[in-house]
Structure 1
């Protein structure tokens, strides 16, 4: 699919972009353009173009507003030391996008066109990808109130361009059926660390009332409804001083599933990386699978199996589980200090040494500082 580019594109001035890069936050600033492709039942995919970033005009009866027929992905573009721009395992995102589309009865965008929509946007808006100096982003010394850190273990110097492909039903009708008119868009946002304090251990809340997903539901799809369903529990977590919520299964309220937007991994004293297996209710995280492979490269043993909350409590108290961390595209890896629940607080005793070692290796691959032995990197510009 060939993407039409604007004949006379308009760009933000260099000073504006520099101000954003100095303190980007996460997901609050956006580049000058977006990729767009339309689909109809009659024509299939058509009208591929990069257009100015701006509001979307929708009919009040658009299906997405009433029946939540939409999906999305989350990726990043990284500036390497030689000035080139790369993304990380986009084929995996394209495959998950297709699976999500099938589950939500949306048309499948071919992987080649999914990648083309990202490439076209990043190449046009490349100036928005933060620059690097000496293997670090050029704003690493900026004092913006966030904690100090060094190299890839910190976060403040890990600026990137966050990429958000998404697809939604735009057909105007009231009736429960698959829409016959759909739009795929890609927008981009320069970002800093997901957690403002950088890589610091966080406290999370164990949710035993609300569920994120149920067997046969949409837990394995990346769709907005799953995240909306987590918000009330997330608010409860905040009330208990926690930054994230950890969900249990919807049937027995006994087995670990995932956080509101991240997967969970436990580090054992005998070198295992234990994580709940994906069985339809847990999102198959790209970072999750990458963490397991990097762990294997570092001599650890990945184990995917059901994990009961009672096993976590007993394992931490007995010293079997020495670290627990969350992982996802936005934050990469975040160590967990404690898990709070209605039954009290479980403090994780480990220093985070293993989790941060995995994080450093993974981030160094993404930024081109370490050899990519798995063929994960994909050049965009």
Structure 2
């Protein structure tokens, strides 16, 4: 099996913004991008993207999951980066058309078709360090993926970092490549020094998110996660999991969570922790590392509530449970 996200469909759909208007969508080769070396994105990081999935149901039909929410966040990211405003309906049509074209390539469960809309500034100008790109390119790339947990859902080991931040606070809710790149050095250091899988960024003791996922603490019937603000990414999977938790009668607390409270709760029997994101849905956390001390989360194994919530979301995505929230959009 190929590494997650390394196989691509041979074609993608693309539009460009020039002379204050968007072009019509075209289906082009996935290797057809031609950028000037002075393109704004290459020098001033005018780029954002999204990640969503399409799923195959047992009757052969194909559905996207929460596409409207991903497109809304994509539009917001574009706006916050001063990229040209996008047409949400045009992007929706682009996604449905290109996924429809490759409907036969959407894997059976537990696989899916990963969908990657991307928006970049392409104006050739290295003199625009303090000005936006007036032209841009937007494309939708497809990647068929297998089960993220093909080897089993191994609980993660997280380093709690109270000094650093994943990215600048005003950039947290923007899904931009620079945020991921800026988090790489501390993550790689944590992997080398304490064998952590990821860093849970907790600036000044405020529990936020990891380099690529939102964080959830599950204490009995309560699920606790940081309330939305501009400092971290507003995850669509996070929102979906919290909605399903409410459906199951759980108490959802979106509020500030300190490292002190986190560690106090983590040691209690039955406590669970998890990371939420599009790729893995919900990943169990088994260990925290804080100031050279290890803290086991609950039993240290994947907790039953984590796996129940993950399965509940998967069942909706795969058409095995009713879509009571209107999250699925039929492609074919």
Work out whether 1:171 is the aligned partner of 2:149.
no
Work out whether 1:207 is the aligned partner of 2:161.
yes
Partner of 1:238: 191
Partner of 2:212: 261
C-alpha distance in structure 1 between counterparts of 2:96 and 2:268, whole Å: 49
Q: Where does 1:111-122 land on structure 2 (aligned, <5 Å)?
A: 111-122=88-99
C-alpha distance in structure 2 between counterparts of 1:198 and 1:78, whole Å: 21
Shift of 1:39: 0.5
Work out whether 1:286 is the aligned partner of 2:236.
yes
Shift of 1:315: 1.6
Shift of 1:199: 1.9
Find the partner of 1:81 among 55, 58, 65: 58
C-alpha distance in structure 1 between counterparts of 2:290 and 2:258, whole Å: 15
Partner of 1:361: 312
C-alpha distance in structure 2 between counterparts of 1:220 and 1:119, whole Å: 25
**Structure 1 counterpart SS, 2:97:** helix
C-alpha distance in structure 1 between counterparts of 2:41 and 2:173, whole Å: 19
Partner of 1:108: 85
Work out whether 1:35 is the aligned partner of 2:16.
no
Shift of 1:318: 4.5
Contact 2:107 2:146 in 1 (8 A): no
Shift of 1:294: 0.4
C-alpha distance in structure 2 between counterparts of 1:233 and 1:207, whole Å: 9
Shift of 1:195: 5.0
Give per-residue Cα distances to partners, 1:170-198, cap 9 Å, x unaligned. 11001221101100011011112335523
Q: CA RMSD in A?
A: 1.4
Contact 1:32 1:125 in 2 (8 A): no
Work out whether 1:64 is the aligned partner of 2:41.
yes
Find the partner of 1:336 among 266, 275, 285: 285
Shift of 1:231: 0.4
Q: Where does 1:140-155 land on structure 2 (aligned, <5 Å)?
A: none
Shift of 1:53: 1.6
Contact 1:263 1:327 in 2 (8 A): yes
Partner of 1:152: none
Shift of 1:373: 0.6
Give per-residue Cα distances to partners, 1:81-136, cap 9 Å, x unaligned. 000111111000011011111110012212211111111111112222113xxxxx
Contact 2:267 2:298 in 1 (8 A): no
Partner of 1:305: 255
**TM-score, normalisation: structure 1:** 0.83
C-alpha distance in structure 2 between counterparts of 1:198 and 1:189, whole Å: 22
Contact 2:198 2:211 in 1 (8 A): yes
C-alpha distance in structure 2 between counterparts of 1:24 and 1:378, whole Å: 28
**Structure 1 counterpart SS, 2:208:** strand
How many equivalent pairs are there?
327
**Structure 2 counterpart SS, 1:256:** coil
Find the partner of 2:177 among 224, 227, 241: 224
Q: Where does 1:315-326 land on structure 2 (aligned, <5 Å)?
A: 315-319=265-269, 322-326=271-275
Contact 1:325 1:336 in 2 (8 A): yes
Partner of 1:10: none
C-alpha distance in structure 2 between counterparts of 1:360 and 1:170, whole Å: 41
C-alpha distance in structure 2 between counterparts of 1:282 and 1:104, whole Å: 15
